[in-house]
Structure 1
Amino acid sequence: MIEFQPVRGDAASTLVEQVAAAVRRAIEQRALPPGSMLPSIRAFASLHRVSAHTVARAYGRLTSDGWLTARPRLGYRVARPRPSQAAPAASRPAALDTQWRLCETHADSPLRLSPGCGWLPDDWLNQDGLRAALRHISRQPMRRMAHYGHPQGYAPLRVHIAATLGERGIAADAQRILLTQGATQGLDIVVRTLLRPGDTMAVEQPCYANLFPILRLAQVRAVPVPRGAAGLDCRALERMARLHRPRLLFVNTALHNPTGASLEAANAAEVLALAARHDFHIIEDDVARELLPRWTPTLAGLDGARRVIYLGGYSKSIAPSLRVGYMVADDALLRACARSKMMSGLTGPETMERLVHHVLLEGRHAAHTARLRDRLARAHEQVEALLDAHGFEICARPRAGLFLWARPAGRRAGRGADALARMAADAGIWLTPGSLFDISGRDLSWLRFNVAYSQDPELWRFLRDAEAAGVA
């Protein structure tokens, strides 16, 4: 909302200056938050009865001063906060641990640059599809919205998911699908259902960071298995299975968080053979599958979802705020997981489930994800070039998904990234160090880069300055 009343004949300021000042006030007062769209030049001019030429000059001046960003045919948006405008930084502990990552980075005072975050920028989301879905939901009779939902989740969405899974080679009807509040709740439900305090679970190294607090709360012992560009180290997995007899293995199959790599077919088959030989279940986290432009195997498809518990969701392809995920498992285990879900939180948010269902069916979701994959591929190419130019070693080059996993090479090799991440946080930049993805919290030299946020020149100026200071 821009409050503006033109004062004509004002000797102190022209109409162009008045328009620019009104927009600046709206930005400073957070009436226009970072990333929000401004009225078009014609709309502003018509509403406030000034010429389009006046508004165009004011918008152009604000753009050149760094208050706005402009893209051809897409209009004007509020730029990221300038240093003098930035909100106070969130309080940071001495160690940038998982607790800080889970809480402070989602608080009201985010850092200015977020190359270490795990989600898409707002303007990369399917905003039109989301708005249409919200309008559709708002017109539904209240009797459909006010009651508790089904324990397994909204049935039409489960039917749609079953059809989608069939295209991935996973045979599952709606009765074998349990909706969850995001894939992370699915992880928590499986751990609560299958494991008891003192049990052992095998995890990838590096591993999805949000799994670690779940295991600590459940008092489950985690044993790492190295993960590389092709998949898990199966020799290490077999040694670990003989020695520790895990009941469960966690694997992030496609576009692994944090490395960006995907399991190769031979590696997937060997992992399944070891699970059968040593009698453990597998949690397959496949939440980023929609961002993958090519086919790669799913463990659940190869296994028939008998020993594999398959997790998916929509935080990466629709929006992270829509906490809707799903689980596929054999009948007996799925019923047990549904009971665990009901005991810990009753049914899921059916309003959100209906919203996701409408986006998938009516929001041109397939076209949106195709454009998103192309945009991410271009971002990967650009960030790879920046990493190469700044002397980083890159673990894998998937040209898909959100993440690149890289570390300084040459004379800087071997330095832990924690000090660099702490220095970045003080500068208002969120870097995600490798220690957050290590079950023991070791100070690794690796960093996770979200390619959608990692092209800002300020990030690379900071990294050059940090190298000059001997930190990076």
Structure 2
Amino acid sequence: MDEIRSRISSRTYLPGTRLPSVRAQAKALRVSVSTVVEAYERLVAEGVIHSRPGSGFYVSGPVAPLALAEIGPRLDRAVDPLWISRQSLEADAGVLKPGCGWLPESWMYEAGMRRALRAVARADSSVLTDYATPLGLPALRQVLARRLVAAGIDAPPDQIVLAESGTQAIDLICRFLLEPGDVVLVDDPCYFNFHALLKAHRANIVGVPYTPNGPDLEAFAAALREHSPRLYITNSGIHNPTGATLSAATAHRLLTLAERSDLVIVEDDIFADFETDPAPRLAAFDGLSRVIHIGSFSKTISASLRCGYIAARADWVDALVDLKIATSFGGGQLAASVLLTALTDSGYRKHMEAVRQRLAQAMESTVDTLQGMGIAPWLIPRAGMFVWCRLPPDVDAAATARTCLQQGVVLAPGNAFSQSQSGSNFLRFNVAQCTDSRVFESLAQSLSR
């Protein structure tokens, strides 16, 4: 019964779909025929399915509300990407969150935000009341264009579209380029919300193993041959969750493979301002031909300020803007105006220098402590907030997360990041959220069980 309900919730079984015969279902689920008959009859009694004499059992309507947690392999809820996000977002002030993906409140650019809010409050009333222009605030797009040029990416303001967030930027791109059933490549491991968002678009997700220099190119080439994917979504700078950086050699070979297969690459650059030595950018090498570059400032300025951007080839901009209007109309200019003021404030550069220094110190301290507990970093990141770690042999990350959650510590188990479910022995640690000794005390207690 749970299996049938799950398939209906995920829309694998739509209204009117004929269910497998009782014998076929019994064979598939390795249960007796009488068990399937009983399950079908109970589902009929509930109105979930109905019987047509001489024909079989069929799904009743209407279409079930989309349940993302039911799409794809059935995961333990402790390693479900949406579970991790909800636990982190809903946690009260007393809960420790070494598994979350953002800086502590005290590390954010609060002083600059307050100055920006005061300045914008004194601005023209249209900023406080009107919709934004379709592309988004021109002055902010001009600033973003200059920032991208510094990274080697030639993206004039009219090729930059503002979005409500980095996540909405990817959502618009998926709406623009994907049809249900299209294949999308992701790194394995990768940021877990890529999985959730792609499930919402009914894409087929294929993971490519990630190495310290970027995706495994042999596996990437094999995936191109076997699956003919439409998109590849990745981080070129600081990779989430591994903390790795893309090498120039890997970037060139990756773009060569993409060109041969007509693949579009979405490059998520949300962690750019954490870098000390900038990594190569695919969009810089490619010239925005088949690479779409996105970003936001929720990790460095404010997660409460929702504003992201898309830099794309010129002939795609109008269609992306049309989709933006269709899904969020004009968008707002208040967040963009505050972001513009904060970015151009004289204190932002110094703020980020201090954050990078604090992260480096937290990285060193966290890695030392974890290694002393027998938890080994996959690599030592050059910058950023994440370190991807292997637990001692035979220790399950999901079980560890469940135990620590009971003690008020939210962890991020590896399988939430892994399409192949090969991360059961890994945890992602946010070093900025590991400054409280109770994180390691809870972890040590869990490992000793």
Q: Tell me the TM-score normalised to structure 2 length.
A: 0.81
1:292 match: 275
Where in structure 1 do 4 or more consecutive aligned residues deviate above 2 Å?
93-96, 101-105, 107-111, 439-443
Alignment of 1:9-408 (within 5 A): 94-107=77-90, 109=92, 112-408=95-391
* CA distance, structure 2, for counterparts of residue 363 and residue 97 of structure 1: 41
Quick check: 2:294–2:311 contact (8 Å CA) kept in 1? yes
Q: What SS does structure 2 have at the residue aligned with 1:294? A: coil
Give the letter for the 2:307 counterpart.
V
Rate the CA distance shift 1:268–1:366 in 2: closer, same or farther, 3 A. Answer: same
Give the letter for the 1:249 counterpart.
Y
- 1:433 equivalent in alignment to 2:416: no
Quick check: 1:341–1:347 contact (8 Å CA) kept in 2? yes
Rate the CA distance shift 1:164–1:443 in 2: closer, same or farther, 3 A. Answer: closer
Quick check: 1:111–1:430 contact (8 Å CA) kept in 2? no
> Deviation of residue 96 (structure 1)?
4.1
> Deviation of residue 195 (structure 1)?
0.6
Rate the CA distance shift 1:352–1:363 in 2: closer, same or farther, 3 A. Answer: farther
Match of 1:423 among 380, 403, 408: 403
Aligned length: 374
Rate the CA distance shift 1:442–1:398 in 2: closer, same or farther, 3 A. Answer: closer
* CA distance, structure 1, for counterparts of residue 322 and residue 93 of structure 2: 37
Q: What SS does structure 2 have at the residue aligned with 1:95? A: helix
Structure number with greater CO (CA < 8 Å, separation at least 6) is 2
Q: What SS does structure 2 have at the residue aligned with 1:356? A: helix
Q: What SS does structure 1 have at the residue aligned with 2:78? A: coil
**Gaps (5+ residues) in structure 2?**
1-75
Q: Tell me the TM-score normalised to structure 1 length.
A: 0.77
CA RMSD of aligned residues (A): 1.5
Greater mean deviation of Cα atoms: 172-181 or 139-148:
139-148
Rate the CA distance shift 1:404–1:182 in 2: closer, same or farther, 3 A. Answer: same
* CA distance, structure 1, for counterparts of residue 173 and residue 239 of structure 2: 20
Match of 1:448 among 428, 433, 436: 428
Give the letter for the 1:416 counterpart.
D
What do the CA deviations read for 1:399-421 (whole angstroms, capped 9, x no partner)?
4111000012xxx3243200111
> Deviation of residue 435 (structure 1)?
1.4
* CA distance, structure 2, for counterparts of residue 347 and residue 444 of structure 1: 43
> Deviation of residue 363 (structure 1)?
4.6
* CA distance, structure 2, for counterparts of residue 337 and residue 312 of structure 1: 16
> Deviation of residue 107 (structure 1)?
2.3
> Deviation of residue 349 (structure 1)?
2.5
Give the letter for the 1:173 counterpart.
P
* CA distance, structure 2, for counterparts of residue 201 and residue 213 of structure 1: 13
Q: Give identity over the alignment, percent.
A: 35
**Gaps (5+ residues) in structure 1?**
1-92
Rate the CA distance shift 1:128–1:290 in 2: closer, same or farther, 3 A. Answer: same
